Structure 1
């Protein structure tokens, strides 16, 4: 009777979900070469190629597509067996800035649950400023936030997030009128970044909508009320960066930083999974490309 290496199956599922050997290795606190070796041995054990790897992408083979659900079931049964006698549940208290998380949140949660079904996750979505304060008070085990200046240099830099002047494609700005903005209330640091760029470029502006979170700002943009400075990752579907077309000053990118204080191995493993899944989620494909003058005409 054939038996399967559990860690190899776990590596296969992560590679399939994250579409990357490197990100799967990060999530498992391993190396890319070790993950490759595990998958090679798994394929030899099964007698089928599971992963098709090219210089540009990683994807499942037809046999890999078939095996994926069975692999998930195996991991789930394993976790159920391990957790059947456990009384204490680990809790991960994590905050994510609403400026960097949007429609991909269900995907992030699915990855965390798949990696550790018994984990209790307490997630808070708020401004970077609020989450930094909660983390410093010890109310959070970890926080994913935007770094806006050099006043604080701790934390691990995960990636650089681009921002754009987002609007619906048919949004019109009349040159003789102030630029209509949708923003968060003061003292939002993204708001300060946006209006600071406009003031420096001497572009008149007026707030026509003040939201209580990025989701409300995105709704105002989709409704055609205004333009907004948003990270491409959270820009609403169907919106584009109209900054180049309107001659607006470019917005600076911001680092996404992870603050973590936990030394618990289970929680650190869950955070690695969260970070790998976060990195694997691309920016809004529609919003990522600025509209050119030819496209606007």
Structure 2
């Protein structure tokens, strides 16, 4: 039985367009013409038997089929690049690590840099973002190792620790007594959002979402400036915030954990980096 084969050049073009959200920008980065890029995407759509991109007025977004193929395309291109690197004597292994935004600096980068110095032959690709996005990337095999925040025991982890969360308001411009209560949250599917809304509703208080951001820094600043209350890890609370005590009626949230996750069949180098991150988290708890 003859199976159709995906052309890596077409896949690379498709990934570039999806990442750029624009045929024009993708053509510049690929050092090609816009018409050539468009033709390659159409050829890939014919080969796949599905429309892969929604062509909007302002940007380009992958369809459901396109999102599915995107994960496979990245893996195929990564394997292709890795094969050339190995044969050329370059890096023998690439570790794709995902970390939440609030772990993307400080001690985490020190641990990663120390690992890189011990193993200069290993190529590290680090991605930061929302834990849910990191989970999706891991499930689609776009990431080899993830440090993330999740509800306790929601998936098997190499190591995990309870995550201490604090209710916070602005130190200078508190807003908890406003009606409705303004809330500062991560976007839908972001951590803590449902916990925040549920806690306020259990108090019988009205609420409104006054500020949404996928950035931890954006959440911290919005609360500090009096945009609303929020729920954040203890490590993310600053002097510009005021902790809301039990007197506020808000119950403590103890359903979250920090977890290090990799596959049982992970390369020994992935396991070693995972152990380094686990030791870092254990030290932070002490």
TM-score by length of 2: 0.60
Q: Within 2, Cα distance between the matches of 1:113 and 1:240? A: 39
CA RMSD of aligned residues (A): 2.8
Consecutive unaligned residues in structure 1, runs of 5 or more: 1-85, 284-297
1:190 to 169, 189, 192: 192
Superposition misfits of 4+ residues, deviation over 6 angstroms: none
Q: Give the 5 Å matches for 1:150-189.
A: 152-173=154-175, 175=177, 177-189=179-191
2:270 to 249, 255, 267: 267
Q: Within 1, Cα distance between the matches of 2:106 and 2:239? A: 9
Displacement of 1:251 after TM fit? 2.2
Q: Does structure 2 retain, via aligned residues, the 8 Å contact 1:100–1:231?
A: no
Q: Give the 5 Å matches for 1:193-272.
A: 193-236=195-238, 238-244=240-246, 246-261=248-263, 262-272=265-275
Other-structure match for 2:8? none
Q: Does structure 2 retain, via aligned residues, the 8 Å contact 1:103–1:234?
A: no
Q: Within 2, Cα distance between the matches of 1:174 and 1:132? A: 33
Q: Does structure 2 retain, via aligned residues, the 8 Å contact 1:243–1:250?
A: no
1:91 to 94, 99, 104: 94
Q: Within 2, Cα distance between the matches of 1:222 and 1:102? A: 21
> SS state of the match for residue 281, structure 1?
helix
TM-score by length of 1: 0.58
Consecutive unaligned residues in structure 2, runs of 5 or more: 1-88
Displacement of 1:217 after TM fit? 0.9
Structure with bigger RCO (C-alpha 8 Å, 6+ apart): 1
Count of matched residue positions in the alignment of Structure 1 and Structure 2: 198
Q: Give the 5 Å matches for 1:13-162.
A: 87-98=90-101, 103-148=106-151, 152-162=154-164
Deviations 1:12-45 (A, max 9, x none): xxxxxxxxxxxxxxxxxxxxxxxxxxxxxxxxxx
